[in-house]
Amino acid sequence: MLGRVQQALALLLGLFVFWTAAAGAFEGLQQRALFLGLVTTLGFALYPLGAGTGWRPLGMAVDLALTAASLAACGYIVWNYETIMGALPWASTLDVALTAGLLVAVLELGRRTVGMIFPTLVVLGLGYALLGGSIPGALGHRGFDIQFVTETVFLGDLGIWGMLTGVAATVIAAFVLFGALLLHSGGGQAFMDLAMRLGGRQPGGAAKIATIASGLFGMISGSAVANVATTGNFTIPMMIRLGYPRPFAAAVEAVASTGGQLAPPIMGAAAFVMAEILGVPYVTIMVAAIIPALLFYLAVFVTVHLVAVRRGLATVPEDELPPWWVIAAPRRVLPIVAALGGLGLGIWLGRSVATSSFYGIMGLLVAFVVTQAGQMPPRTMAGKIVEGLVDAGKGLVIIGVLLAGAQVLVSMINLTGIGVTLSSMIVTLAGDNVALVAVIVGFVCLIMGMGLPTTAAYVLVAAVLAPAMTAVGVDPLAAHLFVFYFATISVITPPVCVAVFVGAGIAQTSWTSAAGEAVRLGAVTYVVPFMLLLYPGMIMQGGPLAIVEAAISGLVLVLAIPGLLSGTRITGQRVLDAAIFAGSIALAIWPHPLGPVLALGLLAGGWHFGRRQRAGAV
């Protein structure tokens, strides 16, 4: 019975997203309230309290009460949105009660879906707003009563109904639906088959399959943990079966899946939030992320290759790889091409991101039906589409709850001014030194992001830390991408590296060993954010020469850092090889126009010298 309720509610949410993407969203507060009401109702059905225990009846009563509280608050906003936005009413006792009920519902769902850390941060933010007037010194503020906090959180578009919830209810929801339908209409298998064919017969083939597949899946899903759980259940056992060390197998999948959040076209929910915060088109974020994403995956690929060659890791047997004619079959390729073509057409025509995603969905559905006609029964085709709608609805629960909670936290940060205070402290501590500010911000981002989903981590660090970087003259786009990257790689950074935890669980190995491998595999990723500050071309700014300079510098780092960490021999002399790699790295990050060219020359010269030595020895 519960399963049917879950499917029905997920289908209803998926249809709501599809309809609003096609016909346009409702009025701001109405759209957000309807979305959050559906999300919380589905959430309590998907994550029942006390499931499988003797006290489930009590848990059901709690779930029903919280669902009713959430629906009452959301319904109140839908009914009274004109009064709320026009008259800016004072908070009544009813408003305080509705706010409390909705917050408890959202935070409890947050606890059930992502753990205690995030809800605790939101509660601390609310507590700081209510009690911070009693704190002496720079961290104190004038204090706010419960009515004022209620008006901020509930009766307006600055609190829980603010920009983050709005993005979740429109743009992100449409893209989640796009991705779910693409995967369920055969895109997921097409991505996996393509990855197997491209990487399987190379040294370390299974690890390269994981890298390619996770990158392709990540460009659609944008979730590291979801990627590990999806592709990892196939790639990790395959790597272990072929003799790969278990920690290495877990690390490859975790790192490759993390990169999906950095790779266009979707990049996960955080990139859409970034576009709204910066007030720029989402395409601007996509374009700025191209070079860093390419460097990330090239670095992982190079590292895997070097480790595979040194350890003699096996390739995938030919008979386990799908033939090219299967991969290139029209029924596999055309739905993906039509989906991406519709998405690109909408963007090219200047339509909104949500509308563009609807174009992509329609292109996908038409191509899917046409190519599968006669090969798949209509009932099965309809079932695949319904599965996609249901999967999208389920996927939106975590996103909706996280962004609604994050919006509350951000509103409290803005209300109390704590973000400005902390940014000022960082700038004062660093003495307006951009490099030192960047190091401090990067380190704090890793700490603040530990245990949090990427979107929540980015929202938090963007509100508190990005202003510190812009205050010392860093370009806003570069500053936000900087904190975004560090918030993202916190999921593979010990001690709280959730993507590694999942991969290690699948591989049945120690997470500490897997985390060490993950840090080495993702080493370049810790350097790339700083390159965004050194080379504007990294984010497609500064003109063609700046872009070429940035690309050369990044290429050197991608080759030199894995070479140094894996002990790769290019001349046969360990000290000389290490010096060549280290010197290339130093020149690549040297902020001088000649730096990248000299770095590439040193690396190429070392390789040529080693090649001549090997030829002479023969």
Token pair belonging to 412:
């409290």
Q: What is the pLDDT of residue 310?
A: 79
Q: What is the pLDDT of residue 100?
A: 95
Q: pTM of the prediction?
A: 0.83
Nearest one of 585, 588, 581 to 606, comparing CA atoms? 581
Q: What is the pLDDT of residue 107?
A: 95
In SS3 terms, 416-481 reads as HCHHHHHHHHHHHHHCCCHHHHHHHHHHHHHHHHCCCCHHHHHHHHHHHCHHHHHHCCCCHHHHHH
Residue 264 Rama label (left phi>0; alpha psi -120 to 50; beta): beta
491-497 contact pairs (CB < 8 A, 24+) = 491/224, 491/225, 491/254, 491/258, 491/449, 491/454, 492/224, 492/254, 492/255, 492/258, 492/518, 492/519, 492/522, 493/446, 493/450, 493/519, 494/519, 495/450, 496/450, 496/451, 497/254, 497/450
Q: What is the pLDDT of residue 261?
A: 79
d(CA 100, CA 98): 5
d(CA 579, CA 521): 21
Q: Cβ–Cβ contacts within 10 Å for residue 276, how many?
A: 15
**Contact yes or no for 311/206 (Cβ under 8 A):** no
- Which amino acid, 113? T
Token pair belonging to 302:
């190079």
Place of tokens 């599965």: 387
Q: What is the pLDDT of residue 153?
A: 93
Length of the chain: 618
Q: What is the pLDDT of residue 429?
A: 82
**Contact yes or no for 205/211 (Cβ under 8 A):** no
Q: What is the pLDDT of residue 220?
A: 65
* Whole-number average pLDDT of the chain: 86
When computed from its CA atoms, the radius of gyration of the chain, rounded to whole angstroms, is: 25
Quick one: 499 exposed, middle or buried, by C-beta within 10 A (0-12, 13-18, 19+)?
buried
Token pair belonging to 415:
């209300």
What contacts 606, CB < 8 A, 6 or more positions away?
570, 571, 576, 577, 580, 584
Strand extents, DSSP E, 335-380? none
Nearest one of 122, 60, 4 to 407, comparing CA atoms? 122
Measured between its terminal Cα atoms, the distance across the chain in Å is: 74
SS3 content of the chain, % helix, strand, coil (to 5): 80, 0, 20
Q: What is the pLDDT of residue 565?
A: 79
d(CA 253, CA 230): 10
Residues of the chain where predicted confidence (pLDDT) is lower than 70: 218-223, 614-618
Nearest one of 122, 117, 107, 172 to 401, comparing CA atoms? 107
Domain ranges in the chain are 29-163, 164-391, 544-618
Q: What is the pLDDT of residue 109?
A: 93
Residue 248's alpha-carbon distances to 201, 334, 545, 559, in angstroms, are 19, 36, 38, 20
What contacts 47, CB < 8 A, 6 or more positions away?
109, 112, 113, 397
**Contact yes or no for 323/143 (Cβ under 8 A):** no
What contacts 132, CB < 8 A, 6 or more positions away?
139, 140, 141, 143, 416, 418
SS3 (DSSP) at 544: helix
